[in-house]
């Protein structure tokens, strides 16, 4: 349950969230659940306990990495009196696509050392990899717009008077959100519609022009007083960028052909042509193979154009952390927020490489996420006993449970991507009763409604009694009791020794064995799928001389190939305490090590060293799960 609700603005808003920008034509475009949205807005933003997870350096600028939902993060900032001067968000595009992270099996340290001694290069093509879903961008327009409306209202509530917001979308939903932003920020505060153009392959059989641009909407809080540093973006374009262009450090698609390459330059047009794979010669900002990562030069231009030195720049759908990195490298303070653990880990590592200081917080909203919302939802289906898919039910229902007495019992689960469904209140319960239940088969006697948070259970039960169907029982269940079982720790064996030689004096931890059931099961599924695909191919091409062989992903008995990162804490043995990383090693996909943010050409030797005696160790597997061990 939320500790309290923080008002979006000083006074409670009145009215409805109507897309009423079409008054000149006497039309009003409405979307579903306006009443629910307004009840949420009037109630305020849910404020939960926020726990400090890790500190990096002294952090005098108050840089923040927050794991949690956008609205809850804004509630935390508003409660602490923190306002932001620039917001850039790259939210889901309502594209209907799943986004995945490429996961690489690391080299066995024993093998890597043998190859080093033989002076043999590691072959990138031999790397074994698979994909892990990070989030599902699957929405219907009404729910997406309701969700986005609440996010935009929350973001606006923490923007300073001179702040700007850039919202990055594409053709799927951008035109709807443009109307929404006219409503939230005001049509008069629209500044630019920026078109980001890029190249890429197209299918020969396409029956349309290749879709190769995104749209970025720029609004300010107050058109009479907002930041636009035309001098900075001219300097960036003509000094730093042109110099790098001549040295071949960025792609040729970075610069528009119409730009003057003289000393003064000019203000860029509202169409920007960047190469998607642009590289930039600064530590910590190379692409990290994050599914939705945007090029650094694209984001840096926004940072320089609409913020000043020491301003606070925020991204509430932070992804790979390009914005926070660009902010840090250009002397801005930053706030990075994302709900996925892979995002938090990715931005943490790249900010350490960029020598930034920051605090990592987690919003304790009662949801124990397993890596990210999509994988948590998939995990829940296996943890809810008896839950199965049911084709006869509308997509509103997650599935059903069979009962000997009641028969088929439809099951509702809140969508972990949509924070507005986490709280079971009267508007949501009314929707279940009025919209979802009337379409159920006639023989349904009971439905099960799971909730993460509930406004007042007795009040909801009374509402069900008064408004519900007397022929169908509604059973309420607390989903947190299931979520608590989502996270399971990995197994590790190690040897801790005090060492002293000509090169190093201190403590050393050698990993003897590491096993992650979750990673191994994932590999089993990948191997089975691969074997089936090859078998089908061979059956189809039998006798044609095209038979294939499947090379399965294999893991050694030690399991060290499934380790991505290790950190040692010398401050406390308390597993629940704030993490202080006194020494850490990250193993890249080729088996080379990044020690305390510094890249090396050394293979990992299954060891991590520290000046002082470590009391705790944290290991991250290649899928992003982290487990803390007391040494």
Q: DSSP 3-state helix, strand, coil percentages of the chain (rounded to 5)?
A: 30, 30, 40
Predicted local distance difference test score (pLDDT) of residue 60: 95
Where does residue 451 rank: exposed (0-12), middle (13-18), buried (19+ CB within 10 A)?
Answer: buried
Question: In sequence order, what are the beta bridge partners of 424?
Answer: 454
Distance of CA 148 to the CA centre of its chain: 16
> What fold, for 373-483?
3.40.1340
Q: pLDDT at residue 281 above 70?
A: no
Q: Which of 130-144, 192-206, 441-455, 585-599 has the lowest mean pLDDT?
A: 130-144
pLDDT digits (tens, 9 = 90+) for 573-620: 988 889 999 999 999 888 889 999 888 988 899 999 999 999 999 999
Cα–Cα distance, 89 to 235 (Å, whole number): 25
Question: Average pLDDT for residues 328-343, to the nearest whole number?
Answer: 93
Q: pLDDT at residue 191 above 90?
A: yes
pLDDT digits (tens, 9 = 90+) for 341-359: 888 999 999 999 889 999 9
Q: Which of 123-132, 382-391, 445-454 has the lowest mean pLDDT?
A: 123-132
Q: pLDDT at residue 541 above 60?
A: yes
Cα–Cα distance, 614 to 617 (Å, whole number): 7
* pLDDT higher at 287 or 29: 287
CA distance readout (Å), 543 to 538, 546, 547, 621 = 9, 8, 8, 43
Question: Average pLDDT for residues 122-131, to the nearest whole number?
Answer: 54
Long-range interactions of 492-498: CB distance < 8 A, separation 24+? 492/617, 492/619, 492/627, 492/629, 494/617, 494/629, 494/631, 496/614, 496/631, 498/613
pTM of the model: 0.79
Of 344, 372, 369, 340, residue with least CA distance to 358: 344
Question: Average pLDDT for residues 267-293, to the nearest whole number?
Answer: 64
Domain boundaries, the chain: 4-96+138-201+213-364, 373-483, 491-630
Question: Average pLDDT for residues 498-515, to the nearest whole number?
Answer: 88
Identify whether the C-beta of residue 447 lies closer than 8 Å to the C-beta of residue 440: yes
Predicted local distance difference test score (pLDDT) of residue 378: 73
Identify whether the C-beta of residue 71 lies closer than 8 Å to the C-beta of residue 45: yes
Write the CB contacts of 296 (distance below 8 Å, at least 6 apart in sequence): 278, 280, 285, 322, 325, 326
Neighbours of 441 (CB within 10 A): 11
Identify whether the C-beta of residue 272 lies closer than 8 Å to the C-beta of residue 301: yes
- Tokens 């294939």 correspond to 548
CATH of domain 4-96+138-201+213-364: 3.40.50.150
* pLDDT higher at 16 or 527: 527
* Average predicted confidence (pLDDT) for the chain: 81
CA distance readout (Å), 404 to 53, 298, 374, 409, 473 = 46, 59, 31, 10, 15
- Report the Cα–Cα distance between both ends of the chain, in Å, rounded: 35
* pLDDT higher at 399 or 1: 399
Predicted local distance difference test score (pLDDT) of residue 20: 45
CA distance readout (Å), 430 to 162, 393, 411, 424 = 41, 19, 16, 10
pLDDT category at 108 given cuts 50, 70, 90 is: confident
């Amino acid at each position: 349950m939320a500790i309290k609700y923080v008002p979006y603005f000083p006074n409670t808003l009145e009215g409805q969230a109507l897309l009423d920008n079409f008054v000149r034509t006497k039309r009003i475009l409405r979307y579903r659940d306006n009443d629910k949205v307004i009840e949420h807005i009037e109630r305020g933003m849910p404020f939960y306990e926020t726990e400090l997870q890790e500190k990096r350096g002294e952090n005098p600028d108050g840089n923040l990495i927050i794991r949690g939902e956008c609205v809850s993060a804004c509630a935390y900032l508003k409660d602490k009196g923190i306002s932001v001067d620039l917001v850039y968000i790259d939210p889901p595009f309502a594209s209907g696509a799943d986004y995945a992270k490429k996961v690489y099996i690391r080299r066995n340290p024993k093998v890597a050392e043998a190859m080093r001694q033989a002076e043999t290069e590691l072959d990138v093509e031999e790397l074994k990899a698979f994909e892990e879903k990070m989030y599902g961008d699957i929405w219907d327009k009404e729910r997406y717009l309701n969700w986005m409306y609440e996010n935009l209202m929350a973001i606006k509530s923490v923007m300073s008077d001179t702040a700007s917001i850039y919202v990055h979308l594409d053709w799927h939903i951008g035109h709807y959100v443009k109307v929404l932003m006219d409503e939230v920020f005001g049509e008069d505060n629209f500044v630019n519609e920026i078109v980001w153009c890029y190249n890429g392959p197209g299918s020969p059989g396409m029956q349309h022009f290749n879709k190769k641009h995104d749209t970025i909407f720029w609004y300010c809080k107050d058109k009479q007083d907002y930041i636009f540093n035309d001098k900075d973006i001219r300097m960036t374009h003509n000094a730093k960028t042109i110099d790098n262009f001549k040295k071949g450090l960025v792609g040729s698609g970075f610069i528009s052909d119409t730009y003057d390459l003289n000393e003064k330059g000019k203000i860029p047009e509202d169409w920007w042509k960047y190469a998607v794979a642009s590289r930039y010669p600064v530590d910590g900002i190379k692409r990290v193979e994050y599914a939705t990562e945007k090029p650094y030069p694209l984001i840096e231009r926004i940072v320089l154009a609409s913020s000043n030195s020491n301003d606070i720049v925020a991204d509430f759908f932070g992804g790979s952390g390009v914005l926070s990195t660009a902010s840090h490298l250009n002397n801005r303070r930053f706030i990075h927020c994302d709900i996925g653990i892979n995002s938090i880990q990715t931005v943490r590592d790249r900010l350490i490489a960029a020598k930034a200081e920051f605090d990592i917080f987690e919003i304790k909203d009662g949801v124990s996420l397993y890596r990210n919302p999509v994988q948590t939802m998939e995990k829940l289906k296996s943890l809810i006993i008896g839950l199965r898919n049911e084709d006869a039910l509308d997509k509103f229902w997650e599935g059903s449970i069979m009962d000997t007495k009641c028969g088929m019992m439809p099951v509702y689960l809140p969508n972990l991507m949509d924070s507005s469904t986490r709280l079971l209140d009267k508007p949501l319960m009314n929707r279940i009763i009025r919209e979802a239940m009337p379409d159920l088969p006639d023989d349904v006697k009971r439905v099960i409604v799971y909730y993460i948070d509930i406004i007042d259970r007795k009040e909801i039960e009374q509402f069900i009694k008064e408004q519900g169907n007397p022929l169908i029982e509604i059973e309420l269940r607390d989903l947190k009791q299931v979520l608590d079982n989502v996270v399971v720790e990995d197994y590790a064996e190690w040897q801790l020794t005090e060492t002293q030689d000509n090169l190093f004096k201190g403590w050393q931890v050698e990993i003897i064995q590491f096993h992650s059931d979750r990673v191994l099961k994932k590999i089993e599924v990948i191997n089975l799928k691969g074997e089936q695909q090859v078998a089908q191919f061979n059956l189809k091409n039998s006798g044609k001389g095209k038979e294939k062989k499947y090379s399965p992903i294999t893991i050694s008995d030690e399991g060290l190939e499934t380790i991505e990162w290790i950190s040692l804490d010398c401050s406390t043995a308390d597993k629940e305490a704030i993490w202080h990383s006194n020494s850490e090693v990250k193993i890249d996909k080729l088996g080379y090590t990044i020690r305390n943010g510094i890249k090396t050409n050394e293979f990992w030797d299954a060891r991590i060293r520290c000046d002082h005696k470590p009391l705790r160790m944290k290991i991250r597997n290649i899928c992003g799960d982290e487990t803390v061990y007391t040494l």
